[in-house]
């Protein structure tokens, strides 16, 4: 697997990572644990070294899964996790607000270290910006954890550029994680230029549009009652029907390259910046292999221009989040 370095951090990871949320949370009932452990082992065997989790995924179950599955590969893989939500310590199913107070951050770090079965957290993201806690205090708390040897790198998720600059001035930010794909290109306006200026890596989540860009979802697709896509405006039947234009574009290019729509979507992302590492999620070995193969696909300048021109003419329907979730991003 080709490696990439996240910005100026020196953090070297596989060019494609693995978003692990869906193994425990959000996309319907969780699969059998052993199957997910086998999948994680297969990912390592194929050269994937970058795994993304969070305490809120489950809650806690996803970190515990990675801790058990990746214990034999300690020192060979990079695990990113996140803090910032207010959770029931008994593992209740829902978060009840944000909490990035320094004392809470440090308590979360200690708990995550135990669940992940590691001595140091490779990359520790603030999951969402807490408007009640100055970002300078958040960065300072993570800096304390770095000095204590409990964390290696500091990250931010879905933060606004002003917040990123303020945090970076206190403790260098290794990576910012935000949604980015061919049907959500908002980061191109201000975020990507800011990250390039500051030397911060970028980790796009949902690079396949929560599965939509794979070409396997249409207006007739049904979702499990526990699948959170049911509550997203972009996943109403009407929006899914209208947004097939993006999938049609990917399918056309995929046929020309003997690839799949998902592979073209990932290859396009990889072509944007050399310090960008997407983290598509999957629960299936065949999809893992499909995603990893995207790292070998090279899109020419003409092909990239064609994609840009074609996508510019498509009006994607539906907001990416509900109003409540939208208020948590870009702050």
Q: What is the DSSP string of 9-27?
A: S--EEESS-EE-GGGTSSB
The SS3 assignment for 281 reads: strand
Closest CA to 321 of 186, 137, 120: 186
Cα gap 136→139, rounded to integer Å: 5
> Which residues have CB under 8 Å from 102's CB, separation 6+?
133, 137, 138, 140, 141, 144
> Which residues have CB under 8 Å from 297's CB, separation 6+?
257, 259, 263, 264, 266, 267
Cα gap 20→17, rounded to integer Å: 9
Task: Identify the active-site residue in 57, 125, 180, 205.
Answer: 57
Cα gap 56→72, rounded to integer Å: 24
For the chain, the residue count is 331
Edge to edge, what strands does the sheet with 50-52 contain?
18-19, 50-52, 78-83, 121-126, 151-157, 173-179, 201-205
CA-CA distances (angstroms) from residue 68 to 47, 93, 114, 330? 19, 21, 11, 34
**Cβ neighbourhood burial of 17 (10 Å; 0-12, 13-18, 19+):** buried
* H-state helical runs in the chain: 33-45, 61-70, 102-116, 135-147, 161-170, 191-198, 237-242, 244-257, 261-270, 285-293, 301-312, 323-326
Please measure the distance between the N-terminal and C-terminal CA atoms of the chain and give it in whole angstroms. 35
Q: What are phi and psi of 276, to 5 degrees?
A: -110, 130
> Active site includes 125?
no
Question: Which residues does the annotation mark as catalytic?
Answer: 57
């Amino acid at each position: 697997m080709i490696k990439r370095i996240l910005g100026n951090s020196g953090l070297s990871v596989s060019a494609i990572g693995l978003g692990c949320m869906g193994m425990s949370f959000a996309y319907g009932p969780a699969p059998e644990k052993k199957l997910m452990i086998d999948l994680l082992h297969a990912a390592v065997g194929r050269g994937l070294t970058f795994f993304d989790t969070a305490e809120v995924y489950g809650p806690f179950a996803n970190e515990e899964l990675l801790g058990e599955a990746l214990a034999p590969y300690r020192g060979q893989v990079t695990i990113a996790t996140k803090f910032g939500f207010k959770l029931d310590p008994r593992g209740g199913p829902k978060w009840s607000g944000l909490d990035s107070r320094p004392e809470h951050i440090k308590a979360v770090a200690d708990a995550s270290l135990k669940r992940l079965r590691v001595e140091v957290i490779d990359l520790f993201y603030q999951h969402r910006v807490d408007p009640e806690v100055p970002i300078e205090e958040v960065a300072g708390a993570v800096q304390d954890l770095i000095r204590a040897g409990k964390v290696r790198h500091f990250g931010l998720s879905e933060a606004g550029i002003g917040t990123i600059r303020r945090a970076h001035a206190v403790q260098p930010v290794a990576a910012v994680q935000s949604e980015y794909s061919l049907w959500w290109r908002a980061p191109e306006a201000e975020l990507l230029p800011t990250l390039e200026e500051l030397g911060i890596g970028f980790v796009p989540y949902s690079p396949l549009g929560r599965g939509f860009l794979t070409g396997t979802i249409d207006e007739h697709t049904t979702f499990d009652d526990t699948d959170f896509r049911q509550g997203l405006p972009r996943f109403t039947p009407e929006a899914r029907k209208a947004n097939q234009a993006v999938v049609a574009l990917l399918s056309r290019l995929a046929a020309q390259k003997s690839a799949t729509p998902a592979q073209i979507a990932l290859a396009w992302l990889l072509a944007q910046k050399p310090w960008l590492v997407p983290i598509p999620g999957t629960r299936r070995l065949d999809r893992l292999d499909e995603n990893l193969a995207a790292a070998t696909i090279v899109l020419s300048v003409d092909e990239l221009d064609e994609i840009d021109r074609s996508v510019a003419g498509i009006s994607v329907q539906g907001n990416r989040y509900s109003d409540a979730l939208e208020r948590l991003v870009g702050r």
